[in-house]
């Protein structure tokens, strides 16, 4: 089926992830191939809802010449925000107080006024939930799954994950030699929110002694016992990879900060674990927090390929008359799954995941005594 000339918007929401620019590149090239126009909304939906902040325009047409040289670049040329939920935007009131306001009708009106037929929403579970609600309000939406955390159901991979894991692995590789030289325990805290994928994959790739993930609550005594046994067997140093969302058995996640209208910021567990391991093993311990380094920099080849493919597939979905779907990698195919299904639950590491079992076989502890 061919569809009349389209004007399609694209935006990027939530935390940035390497590969966002590749998605934009893929979408623009595919749209232009159909004779469609594609427009980028700045900073999530801010380009529409706060136009006064964009003297050069909150919405701009993206031509092939604009995006030709961007797919290898980190970040997003459109900008992003994780405070931009149009359904509950913190809005300053005349009396100076801040109240959450539903501005979704105003947003839908912006699409109408700009004669935009559809939106390609590139984001993680938060941004895709917003996109799903906009679809319910009558906007045609196709989602593209983005997150370094790789915690979205219905797609085997999200772009950004491979870059994050590759960089974490490189960092942990580097920490082996300094840990060995000082016979120290080095604890490496990595992002991932409530999913342990980054910790599991980088810890396995970089030969960690222990990997602590949210899905397997740990007992610090078990971790210390494993490290002491290895020290006794002749390995004088240890590397422990801790997901920011890891928690002790019966305990809670470490929260760095809480703010209205946004997910709490996790962090701090690495320092806690390092201090406890120093106490229990008697070995000098240090903590390295990789944090936003995992989100920055140039995407790996895999994330570039995923990005351009997802971007082009989103346009293809619209051209085939689909909406309300998310592009998904279901090897060897690119699939389209209802956004509602994709956001229904997070994809967490199964306790019996082959990667967990292989790690255990390689004498990597998860701190659960198994
Ligand atoms: O979801 C991606 C992610 O990088 C998480 O791994 C992390 O918890 C969070 O975003 C950090 O968000 P912020 O950039 O707001 O600190």
pLDDT tens-digit readout, 211-257: 999 999 999 999 999 999 999 999 999 999 999 999 999 999 999 98
Alpha carbon dihedral 338, 193, 295, 143, in 10-degree steps, equals: 10
pLDDT-based confidence at residue 259 (cuts at 50, 70, 90):
confident
* Distance of alpha carbon 355 from alpha carbon 370, whole angstroms: 15
Residue 322 has pLDDT above 80, yes or no: yes
Ligand 1 contact, 144 CB (< 6 A): no
Pick the CATH number of 7-159+299-331 from 1.10.10.10, 1.10.230.10, 3.30.413.10, 3.40.50.450: 3.40.50.450
pLDDT of residue 136: 97
Q: Region 159-170: what's the mean pLDDT?
A: 98
User: For residue 36, how many C-alpha atoms fall within 13 Å in the half-sphere facing its CB?
Assistant: 27
- Per CATH, the homologous superfamily of domain 161-296+350-361 is Phosphofructokinase domain (3.40.50.460)
- CA 127, distance to chain mean position in Å, is 11
Q: pLDDT averaged over the chain? A: 96
* β-strand partners of 285: 185
Whether 266 is in the pocket of ligand 1, judged by its Cβ within 6 Å, is yes
Residues pairing with 12 in the sheet: 122
Domains 7-159+299-331 and 161-296+350-361 share a fold: yes
Q: What is the pLDDT of residue 84?
A: 86
Q: Whose structure tokens read 């136009």? A: 51
Residue 189 tokens read as 């805290």
CA distances in angstroms from 2 to 75, 141, 297, listed in the order given: 34, 18, 38
265 Cα–ligand 1 center, Å: 7
d(CA 12, CA 42): 8
Q: Which residue has the tokens 């903590």?
A: 287
Average pLDDT, integer, range 124-137:
97
Q: Which two tokens stand for residue 216?
A: 């397997």
Closest-lying ligand 1 atom to the alpha carbon of residue 262: 15
**Do residues 107 and 48 lie in contact, with contact meaning Cβ atoms separated by under 8 Å?**
yes
Domain extent listing, the chain: 7-159+299-331, 161-296+350-361
Q: Where are the alpha helices (DSSP H) in 11-70?
A: 20-33, 46-49, 64-67
191 C-alpha vs ligand 1 centroid, how far in Å?
Answer: 7
For residue 266, give the ligand 1 atom closest to its CA: 8
Question: Distance from the CA of 117 to the center of ligand 1, in angstroms?
Answer: 31
Please list the active-site residues: 149
> Does the CB atom of residue 265 touch ligand 1 within 6 A?
yes
Residue with tokens 């995923």: 306
| Structure token pair of residue 289 | 């927090």
pLDDT band of residue 370 (cuts 50, 70, 90) is: confident
């Amino acid at each position: 089926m061919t569809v009349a000339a389209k004007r399609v918007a694209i935006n990027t929401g939530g935390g940035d992830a390497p590969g966002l620019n590749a998605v934009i590149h893929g979408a623009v090239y595919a749209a232009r191939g159909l004779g469609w126009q594609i427009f980028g909304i700045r900073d999530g939906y801010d380009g529409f809802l706060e136009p006064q902040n964009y003297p050069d325009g909150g919405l701009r047409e993206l031509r092939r010449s604009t995006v030709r040289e961007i797919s290898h670049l980190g970040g997003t040329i459109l900008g992003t925000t994780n405070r931009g939920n149009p359904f509950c935007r913190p809005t300053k009131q005349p009396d100076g107080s801040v109240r959450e306001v539903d501005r979704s009708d105003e947003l839908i009106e912006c699409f109408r006024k700009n004669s935009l037929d559809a939106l390609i929403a590139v984001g993680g579970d938060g941004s895709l939930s917003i996109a799903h609600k906009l679809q319910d309000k009558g906007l045609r939406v196709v989602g593209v799954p983005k997150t370094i955390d790789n915690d979205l159901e219905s797609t085997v991979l999200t772009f950004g994950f491979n870059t994050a894991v590759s960089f974490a692995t490189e960092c942990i590789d580097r920490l082996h030699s300094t840990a060995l030289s000082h016979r120290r325990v080095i604890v490496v805290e990595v992002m991932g929110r409530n999913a342990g994928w980054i910790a599991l994959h980088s810890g396995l790739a970089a030969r960690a002694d222990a990997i602590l993930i949210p899905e397997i609550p740990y007992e610090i005594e078990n971790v210390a016992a494993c490290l002491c046994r290895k020290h006794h067997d002749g390995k004088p140093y240890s590397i422990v990879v801790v997901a920011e969302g890891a928690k002790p058995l019966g305990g809670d996640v470490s929260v760095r900060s809480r703010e209205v209208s946004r997910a709490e910021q996790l962090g701090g567990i690495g320092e806690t674990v390092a201090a406890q391991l120093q106490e229990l093993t008697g070995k000098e311990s240090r903590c390295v927090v990789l944090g936003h380094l995992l989100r920055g920099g140039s995407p790996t080849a895999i994330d570039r390929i995923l990005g351009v493919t997802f971007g082009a597939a989103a346009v293809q979905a619209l051209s085939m008359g689909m909406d309300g779907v998310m592009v998904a990698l279901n090897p060897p195919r690119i699939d389209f799954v209802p956004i509602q299904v994709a956001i229904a639950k997070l994809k967490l590491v199964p306790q019996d995941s082959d990667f967990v079992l292989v790690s255990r076989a390689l004498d990597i502890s998860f701190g659960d005594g198994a």
